[in-house]
Amino acid sequence: MHTLHYVTIPSLHDQPLSIAARLRIPADSKDKHPAVILLHGSAGPSGREGGYADVLNAAGFVTLEMDQWSARNLKGGAEGRPKSVIETLPDLTGARAFLSRHPAVDPARIGAAGFSFGGVACMLAATAKHSDGNPFPALMPVYPATWTYNRVPNFEFGDLTDTNILLITGALDQYDNDPEISAKLVAGLKPEDAAKITLQVMPDSHHGFDMPEADMEVQDPCGNQGKGGKVIMRYNPETTLKAHALAVDFFTRHLGG
């Protein structure tokens, strides 16, 4: 069981934004909990984030699900998202600052998970270049268009902070079009950076495999390794259950439960 609160998060942006969010707190006797920030993808908030929140709450985690698009008057999708993931990183910093001040949260045990666009934010937040000097102890990017890193300007990935990363991708993801893309990325890193990353490639899984009832085709200029075109998004309930279990295990090991 958990308690649900609707809150407003101040993004630590040059032009401050007020971001609506759902805060869930486990209904137990603990004074301080670890917490996980959940970042949605290009389409905006969905049942996907709530599914992860359910299992994390049951394991003793506070969760925070933000709606980053409504504060920017964006509709979502390839044409309705911010031009750069980098401009949303202050949202993540603001969310951590909000949780750090909350009486139910242990400020030393705050992690983040992100999906697609939000997964890119988690990847970049792991780098010294985009860190604010206070590394997240645990970051879980899920299908974050892995082909882009160290190939697209401003998507440099390396010189990682003192963090732990669980990178989850789908073998059929048409943004990457290569089930080995994550292994290739890690193989090209410095050994000390590669040691911070755990990979999990989900077989028979498309982009959005953990979005309930997703079964669609979208056009995205970032698809097919930047060639653009069709990208299938399709829910896989078996993979979703596995990803939920991996999330609970990962954050329990690195944040405590």
Q: 153: which residues sit within 8 A by CB, 6+ positions away?
A: none
The answer to whether 123 and 95 have CB atoms below 8 angstroms apart is: no
Residue 199: burial class (beta carbons within 10 Å; 0-12, 13-18, 19+): middle
- pLDDT class of 77 with cuts at 50, 70, 90: low
User: pLDDT tens digits for 198-219?
Assistant: 999 999 999 999 999 889 998 8
Domain that holds residue 192: 2-255
Task: Give the CATH number of the domain where residue 74 resides.
Answer: 3.40.50.1820
Number of domains in the chain: 1
Please give the model's pTM, rounded to 2 decimal places: 0.95
User: pLDDT tens digits for 93-143?
Assistant: 999 999 999 999 999 999 999 999 999 999 999 999 998 889 999 999 999
